[in-house]
Amino acid sequence: MLSKLTRISRFRPFFEFYNQKPPSGLLKQQEEHPEQKIENSKKEKNKKENWQIKKQEEKIERETKQDLSFKQANQQQQKTNERNQQEQFKFSKRKNQNNVGYPNDPFLQYLYIFLTSVPLAYLIYKVYEEGENLIQFNEFKKNYLEKQLVYCIEIQKDNDEYCSKGLSLHNLQKYNDAINCYDKAIQIDPNNGLAYYYKGLSLHKLQKYNDAINCYNKAIQIDPNNAVAYYCKGLSLHNLQKYNDAINCYDKAIQIDPNNGLAYQNKGNSLLFLQKYDDAINCYNKAIQIDPNNAVAYNNKGDTLYKLQKYNDAIHCFNKAIQINPNFFVAQNNKGQTLYKLQKYNDAIHCFNKAIQINPNFFVAYNNKGQTLDVLQQYNDAIDCYNKAIQIYPYNAITYYYKGLSLHNLQKYNDAINCYNKAIQIDPNNAIVYINKGLFGYLILIGLTLDVLQQYNDAINCYDKAIQINPYNASSYGTKGLSLHNLQKYNDAINCYDKAIQINPNDASSYCSKGLTLDVLQRYNDAINCFDKAIQIDPNCVIAYYNKGLILHHLQKYTDAINCYDKAIKINPNNARAYLGKGTSLHNLQKYNDAINYYDKAIQINPKDFLAYSSKGLSLHHLQKYTDAINCYDKAIQLYPYDASSFNIKGYSLECLNNYDEALKNYDQSLIIDSANTVTYKHKGYLLTKMKKYKEAIKVYEQAIQNCKTDQNEFKKLIEEIKNNK
């Protein structure tokens, strides 16, 4: 509604004219102007209304002709003002609640337009100031006023029609067309605060938040008590990530209307983004207190409790939201995510399925379901979910990221790389939302996948790009060091580990990786120091205990090695490698039966570990259980037919069973796999010498001298012994 000062200023030219005596010829000239305006209106439609207005004017004229004293006029005016204020309140309330322009009664229309445009007290003051003779309406002035009022009614009707049409277009999501209608309404009445407010809503839907805020500001300027305008301005500021400014607007809306539950709810949303979780929960509680059936407030409160890791309380809120609105698919999805955190994966999948059932195009639920299936190692089913999400919305980098992880776990490394590249293409700059998300994270993942493919140089290129993006991330240096290690560039690898440690001195993994490289360089004490440092940082670092045990075993400190393996097993009883390592140390202590027990434990945990079978076979061999040993070797070869040692020790057990021909076949197969295996050359040469095939034995030793970098003097000595003993 227009401010009263604005309405008075609009009619000021009329009053200046009204208080003057019209000069000759002016009556006709002034009458033609309103008549010309009225001609554009629908005369037939308003004929009855004009007659009723005229009847009421005659009544007013009769009353004003009475000989009233100035005091009586004031008393009469006071009663009239009270009656008019009651009528005006009724009409304004009805207009605000029902969005209806005017009452049906013509006389009430007359009072509504006249009294809301020009305060009657102002008119009476001007009239009595000139004297009693100016109180009476002459025919000219009455007609002029009447026609001006009818004209104002027509203009206001046009104004309301544009606003109503704009709302209809807005609801049809034709926001630009709606804005055009609001602009026309504003052009008719520049002080139409409602039109500015509606225009702001449409601009908000078009994500033109700054323009929307300008409209809300205009609406607030016209009506400073417009709580809804403050509330909507807060929504636009929130979407611009101006959360504190948004909160100020919500507070203003609440100050004007303390029962505005939506203002409390959205204030809570802004506080949530500011990580002021307790304050946010207080706002959601207030919104729920105002409206106990506010499902969104319960859902958002649950989301805040989720952030506080109060998962059971969060689920209670999500259940309440679902109880209020059984089709609230977002609450179902959020409940599923919370159950995921509680490791109730099947229950989580049930919630994601429910969300998808309600809204089959909710790709977020497919993503979350896929991640849950990943945890259950149902990688193919997870990929199906990611594909469905991509089909619905092919522009989400996260979907490709998780699909890449599933493909990686299925050892489909090239397909995984394609997914990571697609994620980079979609969103090259989103670096920190989830762990390893964004260009930096994708480059790390691609590098790791290339490492698995043994494309180490390409992997290093990815790590270098990641370092270029973020030179202060320790993991990029650590993973680059692993690739350099695999390229046997051990010193360069150590430099990378040192850089990672410099950036993050509390990263146990960097010390572990450095220790492994130092072990290869036979710097055993330095390696042990690195593992001790990792254990100091993380007393539960299983890898550090296990690798320290390997080095101690290599140094023939078998008892100390066993202590390290025991520590690793205590931390993680399902660590098959720790059982295998302990078994190997027990074997070297000639505790073969104890060793076999630990090999069996390793096989129980990981039935596909060929080394456990091969090592068990070796202990059985030392117990002279050659047939059982051969069965273990066969199992190891079945699992991994590319291990030269398995063929070598199988050949040795066959030799002990005097099955020389089969033994020689296994030695040959071992040398095909590894032509530099000195142990196999020795076993084959010994067997040929035992079979008195001296020339063949000498030939084997000569091949060993040619192919092996170590033990060459020993092979030369063996050749001399054969020649001397012939």
Q: What is the average pLDDT score of the chain?
A: 78
Supply 697's token pair.
């034995």
pLDDT tens figures, 656-698: 999 999 999 999 999 999 998 899 999 998 989 889 898 898 8
In a domain, 34, yes or no: yes
**Least-confidence region, from 109-113, 184-188, 557-561:** 109-113
- Which DSSP state fits 134? G
**Residue 40 pLDDT exceeds 60:** no
Confidence tier at 336 by pLDDT (50, 70, 90): very high
The reported pLDDT for the residue numbered 726 is: 61
Q: What is the mean pLDDT of residues 398-412?
A: 85
Nearest to 471 by CA among 440, 514, 493: 440
In a domain, 214, yes or no: yes
Residue holding tokens 């650590």? 478
Give the C-alpha separation, 710 to 204, whole Å: 77
Confidence tier at 94 by pLDDT (50, 70, 90): very low
Confidence tier at 534 by pLDDT (50, 70, 90): very high
Confidence tier at 13 by pLDDT (50, 70, 90): very low
Phi, psi of 470 (to 5 degrees): -140, 95
Cβ contacts of 392 within 8 Å, gap of 6 or more: 361, 363, 366
Does one domain contain both 24 and 154?
yes
Does one domain contain both 212 and 114?
no
Cβ contacts of 516 within 8 Å, gap of 6 or more: 485, 527, 547
The reported pLDDT for the residue numbered 458 is: 67
In a domain, 488, yes or no: no
Q: Total structural domains in the chain?
A: 3
What angle in degrees, to the nearest 10, is found between the helix axes of 295-307 and 277-290? 160
To which H or E segment does residue 440 belong? helix 438-452
Give the C-alpha separation, 389 to 378, whole Å: 17
The reported pLDDT for the residue numbered 190 is: 87
**Least-confidence region, from 74-83, 511-520, 575-584:** 74-83
Q: What is the mean pLDDT of residues 222-232?
A: 91
In a domain, 704, yes or no: yes
The reported pLDDT for the residue numbered 159 is: 61
Give the C-alpha separation, 95 to 117, whole Å: 16
In a domain, 366, yes or no: no
**Domain end among 160, 192, 216:** 160
**Least-confidence region, from 403-417, 542-556, 559-573, 622-636:** 403-417
The reported pLDDT for the residue numbered 658 is: 93
The reported pLDDT for the residue numbered 178 is: 86
Does one domain contain both 114 and 183?
no
**Least-confidence region, from 26-40, 43-57, 153-167, 368-382:** 26-40
| Neighbour tally for 327: CB within 10 Å | 12
**Residue 89 pLDDT exceeds 50:** no
Does one domain contain both 185 and 46?
no
Does one domain contain both 132 and 10?
yes
Does one domain contain both 117 and 201?
no
Does one domain contain both 22 and 142?
yes
Does one domain contain both 119 and 190?
no
Percent with pLDDT over 90 in the chain: 48
**Least-confidence region, from 198-207, 307-316, 356-365:** 198-207
In a domain, 684, yes or no: yes
The reported pLDDT for the residue numbered 158 is: 58
In a domain, 708, yes or no: yes
The reported pLDDT for the residue numbered 447 is: 46
In a domain, 242, yes or no: yes
The reported pLDDT for the residue numbered 156 is: 52
Q: What is the mean pLDDT of residues 108-124?
A: 45
Supply 618's token pair.
């070796």
**Residue 409 pLDDT exceeds 50:** yes
Confidence tier at 415 by pLDDT (50, 70, 90): confident
Q: What is the mean pLDDT of residues 438-449?
A: 45
Q: What is the mean pLDDT of residues 606-623?
A: 94
Give the C-alpha separation, 461 to 443, whole Å: 9
How open is the CA angle 105-106-110, to the nearest 5 degrees?
A: 120
More confident residue, 100 or 637: 637
Supply 563's token pair.
């202590």
Does one domain contain both 19 and 130?
yes
Give the C-alpha separation, 607 to 600, whole Å: 9
Q: What is the mean pLDDT of residues 61-75?
A: 40
532 neighbors 564 (Cβ within 8 angstroms): no
DSSP 532-579: HHHHHH-TT-HHHHHHHHHHHHHTT-HHHHHHHHHHHHHH-TT-HHHH
Give the C-alpha separation, 581 to 176, whole Å: 72
**Residue 61 pLDDT exceeds 60:** no
**Domain end among 291, 315, 349:** 291
220 neighbors 213 (Cβ within 8 angstroms): no
Does one domain contain both 219 and 278?
yes
Give the C-alpha separation, 260 to 263, whole Å: 5
pLDDT tens figures, 272-301: 999 999 999 999 999 999 999 999 999 999
Show the domain range for 699: 652-726
**Domain end among 125, 160, 195:** 160
- Choose the most confident range, by mean pLDDT, from 328-337, 432-441, 443-452: 328-337
Does one domain contain both 223 and 283?
yes
The reported pLDDT for the residue numbered 46 is: 52
Does one domain contain both 153 and 177?
no
Q: What is the mean pLDDT of residues 44-71?
A: 45
Give the C-alpha separation, 645 to 680, whole Å: 8
**Residue 115 pLDDT exceeds 70:** no
Domain of 261, CATH number, reads: 1.25.40.10
pLDDT tens figures, 450-462: 444 455 666 667 6
More confident residue, 697 or 34: 697
